[in-house]
Amino acid sequence: SQQGEEDPQALSIQEGENATMNCSYKTSINNLQWYRQNSGRGLVHLILIRSNEREKHSGRLRVTLDTSKKSSSLLITASRAADTASYFCATVTSGSARQLTFGSGTQLTVLP
């Protein structure tokens, strides 16, 4: 798979449930970031986790990073209809301070 591949590709849940999305990558990274994109709109930065961190929280978001497995997960707790969007992981490769390499994203649908 390519750098920054998310699974599942699509996820549909009921409001109030938790949503978990996974991301795998191939190269050594400096940090990994998660972004949200509402249909036809720009990307919104959600959370950043550095390569020396294992877990990070921000509000209803929880991100984990396992550098030995080259994988990350994003957990959204108590989901809301407004969380419906595409979620992308993006990596900053070690040695590069500039470019984000995006995955193909998970389309999350939260049903009211």
- Backbone torsions φ then ψ of 82, nearest 5 degrees: -70, -10
- 63 SS3 class: strand
Q: How far is the CB of 99 from another protein (least distance, A)?
A: 4
Among residue numbers 24 through 63, which ones bind another protein (CB under 8 A)? 30-31, 33, 35, 41-45, 48
Residue count, binding to another protein (CB under 8 A):
24
Take residue 111 and report the two structure tokens written for it. Answer: 């049903």
Annotate each residue in 93-112 with x if it binds another protein (CB under 8 A) or - if it does not, as one string. Answer: ---xxxxxxxxxx-------
Residue 64 exposed, middle or buried by CB count within 10 Å (0-12, 13-18, 19+): middle
Q: Which residue's CB is nearer to another protein, number 18 or number 99?
A: 99
DSSP helix, strand, coil percent of the chain (3-state; round to 5) = 5, 55, 40
Q: How far is the CB of 98 from another protein (least distance, A)?
A: 4
Q: What residues make contact with another protein under the rule CB under 8 A? A: 4, 30-31, 33, 35, 41-45, 48, 88, 90, 92, 96-105
